[in-house]
Amino acid sequence: MKDVLEIGGQLLQSRLFLGTGKFSANAVIPEVVAACGAQVVTVALRRIDLQYPEENVASYIPQGCIIMPNTSGARNAAEAVRIARLAQAAGYGNWIKVEVIADNRYLLPDNYETIKTTETLAAEGFIVLPYMSPDLAAAKRMVEAGAAAVMPLGAPIGSNRGLKTKELIRILIEELPVPVIVDAGLGRPSEAAEAMELGAAAVLVNTAIATAGEPVLMGSAFRQAVEAGRKGYLARPGAIRREGTASSPLTGFLQE
């Protein structure tokens, strides 16, 4: 089966994107990346990272991965644009995860500022993947603004609550011409599989892996779950029925 995901001209085999913000130590990251097979890895930049790159989280990401800096810390479009440009100037390439958050409690994205950021950065040649609140009209504007994909939340960042916005994400998947990547909230491998069965192009996971008792094992679990869910989508599931239907010949044996 040849089933690749194309984003920004890149062909990706892996549909599991990895976030790196919450690991207890950066040293575990290479092993987790290997276990989960991620080809796209997000990093949050700190100013100091740009000065001392050797201590930077990005230095722990294996060769061959696409590093996608995020604009974490930005509270509006201007700040997000500035962070993106600094990242690019520091050599982080042209993929950018736009993350504009004005709410400190639930860390929900600001779709409006995210649209503006997307427009500016896409025009500058960035491959823009906006983190967003799952809203169809806003997502369409992000696509018009040049987003390479959209990344709606399943639940608040870091909550491990699961695919709570399923109803809205299903609609995004149906209606948008770009890949839909579920980002934030997925806490269990089964939830990643469910997102993929729905038709999501990929998922981005961080907290669920980083806060597990065994992050490397959990990384492997998510890898398989994402592949399972993708295959489950492609294999075209059978109908869901209200009543039972016999798998086996019920009256066959003794009455024959």
Looking at the annotation, which residues are catalytic?
A: 97
9 vs 244, beta carbon nearer its own copies: 244
Confirm or reject binding of residue 26 to its own copies (CB under 8 A): no
Q: Which of residues 215-244 bind its own copies (CB under 8 A)?
A: 215, 217-218, 220-225, 227-232, 234-244
CA 147/CA 12 separation, integer angstroms: 17
Dist CA 147 CA 201 (whole Å): 14
Crossing angle for the helix pair 166-175 and 136-144, nearest 10 degrees? 40
- CA torsion, ordered 154, 158, 159, 164, to nearest 10 deg: 0
Q: Binders of its own copies: how many residues, by CB under 8 A?
A: 104
Minimum CB distance to its own copies, residue 10 (Å): 23
- Report the residue from 182, 188, 200, 203 that binds its own copies according to the rule CB under 8 A: 188
* Sequence-separated (6 or more) residues with CB below 8 Å from residue 189: 218, 221, 222, 224, 225
Find the binding residues for its own copies in span 120-139 (CB under 8 A): 133, 135-138
Pattern 189-208, binding to its own copies, x per CB under 8 A?
xxx-xx--x--------xxx
Q: Binding to its own copies by residue 70, rule CB under 8 A? A: yes
7 binds its own copies (CB under 8 A): no
The residue with tokens 């500035």 is 82
229 is in an annotated binding site: no
Helix (H, G, I), strand (E, B) or coil at 39: coil
Per CB under 8 A, 210 contacts its own copies: yes
Q: Does 63 bind its own copies (CB under 8 A)?
A: no
- Restricted to residues 42-61, the positions that interact with its own copies (CB under 8 A) are 44-48
Residue choice 39, 56, 72, 88 for contact with its own copies (CB under 8 A) = 72
- Find out whether 20 is annotated in a ligand binding site: no
Tell whether 207 is in a known binding site.
Answer: yes
Instruction: Confirm or reject binding of residue 165 to its own copies (CB under 8 A).
Output: yes
Considering the complex, what minimum distance in angstroms separates the CB of residue 148 from its own copies? 20
By CB under 8 A, residue 19 contacts its own copies:
yes
Helix (H, G, I), strand (E, B) or coil at 231: helix
SS3 108: coil
Closest CA to 226 of 247, 197, 248: 197
What are the Cα distances from residue 156, in Å, to 133, 161, 166, 234, 239? 10, 8, 13, 28, 32
* Smallest distance from its own copies to CB 38, Å: 15
- For residue 136, count other CB atoms closer than 10 A to its CB: 14
19 is in an annotated binding site: no
Task: Please tell me the number of Cα atoms within 13 Å of 145 on its side-chain side.
Answer: 25
